[in-house]
Amino acid sequence: MQTSTLRTPGHVVQTVSPSELYEVIVGASSQNISQMQASSNRLKQMLEMFGAYDALQEIAARTSVPLVIRQQAIIQLKNTIVHHWKSRKLLSDEHRVRIRQRCLFFVDEEDDTVAECNEIIVLKLARSDFPNLWPDLINDLVKIIDTNLQRRYILLLEDPRDTLRLRRSLALLNGVLKEFASIKLPNGMKAMAQIVEQLRLVLSNYYSKTSTTFSANTLSPQNIGSQIIYDNILLSHLVYKCLAKMAAWLWNKLGRLSGEDLQRNQSWVEELFQSSTNQVKALAELRKSIVLSLLQNEFVANEQARRTISVLTRHLRSFGKFFRRLQQCSHERFVLLPMCGELVMFYWSQIIGSTNYPQNFIIDSDEALYPVRFLVQGMVLFKESLSQWTPLRRSGAANKNTLSQEFVENAVRLLVTRFMPLNTLDLENWMADPEEWVHLEEKENDQWEYEIRACAERVLMQLCNQFLDFVVPLLVTTFEQVAPQPCVDLDAVVRKEALYCAIGRCAPRLKNAIDFGKWLESTFAPEAHETNPMYPIIKRRIAWLIGKWVSCQCTSPNNTKIWEILVHLLQDRGEGTDTVVRLTAAAALRECVDASDFEPNGFAPFLATAVQQLMQIMAEADTLESKRKVDESLNTVIEQSGTLILPFMTTITEPIPQLWVTAEGDFLFKASLLVTVTKLVEAVKEHSSSLGPLVVPLIRESLSPGSMMQLDGDGLNLWIGSLRNTVIIASVDGSPCLRDLFPEAVSLLATNLDLLGSITRIIESYFLLDAIFMLKTSATDLFRAFLSAFNSKIVGVNAKELLQSLGLLVQLSPSDLWGEALHTSGLFAHLLKTLIAGEADTLLLTEHIYLFSRIILSDRRMFLQLMSASSSVLNQSEAFLYDNLLDQWWGKFDNMSEPRHRKLTAMGIAALVSTAQSQVLRRIPGEIFNLWLDVFGELKEAEDQAALREEANDKPASPTNLVRFWELDTAPDSYFRDTEGTPEYKRREAVYDRDPIRATSLIAFVGSQIREAESVCGPANFQIYLNEADPTVLKQIQDVLARG
């Protein structure tokens, strides 16, 4: 088919052929795989043509086209149009006008897929174009809604088409409001304010009109199955959602309003809140009576009746969402709303009322007598409002509007006995899939606003916090009465489990009221050994309770009975226990071991069993999620036990390869295993040298192309930890060793900028372990990798660390191993060029000078050779290179803050003077003498202060004092790269201790270098340079050198 072309500035774009586009859409919807693939590929091309989006929407809007084709067209439009809406290449202004107008044609759309895709398109385009380019959007929607509401509610015409238009248009309006309510930028907020001002009274009238169609006078069990009733509730529900979004947005904005605006908007929100309160009370009671009749089989509930009950339930929840949103925005203002206390107490009455019915009447279903989500909304509102009824205000004054002790105690009893116990469904799920049950329990703790048992626990905690004097005595008394009693049936077991849960949740308030250690001995330990088949419920909660009390610092973890109970629960596989108990015990063990006051020696007698059982539980677990959770507990045990874990290295490491293979594509579990080995390496320190056969394959696997995206961080941490804690990197028996990985480190240094910081530390660790071997085998490749890193767009901190690594290498190895490679790799010439150009960051340039100083101090002749060789590489004379090098050396001296670096620079220039290079000697009378005098002066000041302190027997000065750096016995923290406590720390310390800038007297060194320079060039020639010096400066230099 032919397509025309459109020329735009810089582009030639084809204009779409609507007929071809239609055929391609037909092909893309085909069941024939080859035809579908070919058409899909062609469709991607056509979507880059001028007019394609207009044509796509036109196809979707044609009701004569088969539905599957229309669906395909609008899905493609929805997925792509937003990203290209502003494109002049693909859309003209006429196209955009047509698309916007056509969007509202879909209010007649019967297919939900097409309508929902159109809704998404409208929302995104509205966000971009309203009100400037699409000013009539809200007016057009209101016009559609008005017209069809008049027909339905005034003229009383029952036309399904009217209902459909209302559903679609209200859904569009709700979506637009939601979109604009989320905008935080000024233009979007201004548009939302305009919409709210235009619609708030209009929509309030709509809801007043529609909500009267379902009330106690019009709604009954007999007509609940009516389609008309269903539609009336649904339309009211959609109108109310719009109202609630506007009111919530206004409520959040009230704090920024004043005067008449504030009064007008606040009055409207308060009116809506009051009417919503009355409405929710009436509808909740009406719904309950109808559902109860249906449940008692007084009337047969057909499918339509269930749909109506469902939409009525959703409408009830929309009120709760509105109330909760207002409360979240401002607790203080929420409690001051008229009828707020009445509303909260109404919800609480519903919670109390639900306890009069069997448990199966309280389920997570829209058709339940008491839907769980409705009750949870009430609990959350009640919980977050309790602070307004405390006995004392925050000011300390008595609160006249407080809850009575009887009310609070009854609320606590209600929560603990009815809503916190495990129900039948909980226990069935436990038995059906224990591991999944444990995972869901953990998720419930994170999503407590949506689960009734978890929410009840939070309400109890809040009651305990706000009414401490009422709740604590009640819980203590109940616990002391119930805990010692044996459980004779399942009801007693779940009641006791709920009580233990309450004791755990309120632990911070109960720690001084309950002697936890006594109960561990007298009650929890015997119950943990009970063989009753119902007792896994109790045992699981005991493990959780111990973990909770320890983690909240309400009891010490260093109680032998804690370890006895938890380790027993870990290893027990007899009667009266199960997987849930063991998994919970593993989690509790982690919490106890991770306590700040944990003492490893007290845990040592139980360590062997704990490690063995954790490994066994990990192997037995069916799901990788469970394995990962247990592994996290093992990791904490390893980390906290330190060297005590050494005898159990084999127990831990032997199963890891098989666990790794089993994990396959579960990178979370693999990451956890990497952490396990890392923690083990860090715990056993120098004893980790034997772990090479395990560590090396794991590192390689984690950095392989298929795993690197997910595991590189944990793999690098293992690599770094292994190098820092080992004392040998070579293999003694031919098995894999850390030295084998050095080529990979070099490759990553050259190619992976994202990991450069970690790789630099790895490279440094290799240098400290065996720099000579690394240079003998890989010097040129290594320096080329450094050059690649420098040539990439790296941040300053990475470049600084790379230079420091090179400085370390120069300290650790003889020049004959690195000198030639520095030149042949091009690295030295690059560094020299960077320094003399002087365009890099100042601090980075100072690092170049430190490196060059190291090279000169190591082998000044090698430095001269490198300078000479770089002359031809950089196409500059040696004189030019030396002059510019010395300019930077002097020019950056004042930017060197640490005295050790200033001494290094002074020694480096002294060593360079000893070569008697003419370009260097010419600088002696001025810059070099001044540089030395600065450092000599700092040394003298430091010596004088040290002498004064020694005489006064005073404390040393603050380490932040500049001159203290001369006297520090250890290097700054930054030098050690976070290696404290590892063998590498000692290696770094040894390098620092034998550093010439610590071991050599600067004055003596400078004197010797001057004498060597004089010897090389001859006394007469050398005197010529000295004669150019200021006599005063020369005398100062001579005096200092004479004093030695």
Q: What is the pLDDT of residues 700-758, one digit of tens each?
A: 999 999 999 999 999 999 999 999 999 999 988 889 999 999 999 999 999 998 899 99
Q: What is the pLDDT of residues 838-891, one digit of tens each?
A: 999 999 999 999 999 999 999 999 999 999 999 999 999 999 999 999 999 999
Percent of the chain whose predicted confidence (pLDDT) is above 90: 85
Q: Of 663, 673, 711, give the one whose Cα is nearest residue 694.
A: 673
Name the DSSP letter for residue 529.
T
* DSSP code at position 153: I
The single residue listed with the structure tokens 């050779």 is 865
**CA pair distance 529, 568, nearest whole angstrom:** 8
- Identify the DSSP state of 488: -
Say if residues 542 and 528 touch (Cβ distance below 8 Å).
Answer: yes
Backbone angles phi, psi at 238, to 5 degrees: -65, -40
Q: What are phi and psi of 123, to 5 degrees?
A: -60, -45
Overall average pLDDT of the 985-1012 stretch? 93
Least confident of 298-307, 427-436, 500-509, 568-577: 298-307
DSSP string, 861-917: HHHHHHHHHHHHHHT--HHHHHHHHHHHHHHTGGG--SHHHHHHHHHHHHHHHTTT-
Cα angle vertex 498, ends 497, 504, to 5°?
Answer: 90
What CA–CA distance (Å, rounded) separates 894 from 347?
Answer: 72
| Cα 125 to Cα 84: distance, rounded to the nearest angstrom | 11
State the DSSP H helix or E strand holding residue 28, giving kind and residue range, or none if neither: helix 18-28
SS (H, E, C) 370-388: CCHHHHHHHHHHHHHHHHH
Task: Report the Cα–Cα distance between both ends of the chain, in Å, rounded.
Answer: 95
Distance CA 566, CA 135 (A): 67
Domain boundaries, given as residue ranges, for the chain? 1-129, 134-338, 515-618+625-647, 921-1043
Q: 127: closest CA among 175, 59, 62, 87? A: 175
Banded pLDDT at 966 (limits 50, 70, 90) = very low
pTM: 0.86
What gap in Å lies between CA 273 and CA 277, rounded to an integer?
A: 6
| 364-412: pLDDT as tens digits | 999 999 999 999 999 999 999 998 898 887 777 788 889 999 999 999 9
Q: What is the mean pLDDT of residues 637-651?
A: 96
In this predicted structure, what is the pLDDT of residue 443? Answer: 80
Asked if 779 and 763 count as a contact pair (C-beta separation under 8 A), the reply is no
- The arithmetic mean of pLDDT across residues 75-82, rounded, is 95
Spell out the residues 6+ positions from residue 231 whose beta carbon is closer than 8 angstroms to its own. Answer: 163
User: Could you tell me which residue, 800 or 396, shows the higher pLDDT?
Assistant: 800
Determine contact, residues 587/624, Cβ cutoff 8 Å: no
CA angle in degrees (0–180, nearest 5) for 866-867-872: 95
Could you tell me which residues are beta bridge partners of residue 1004? none
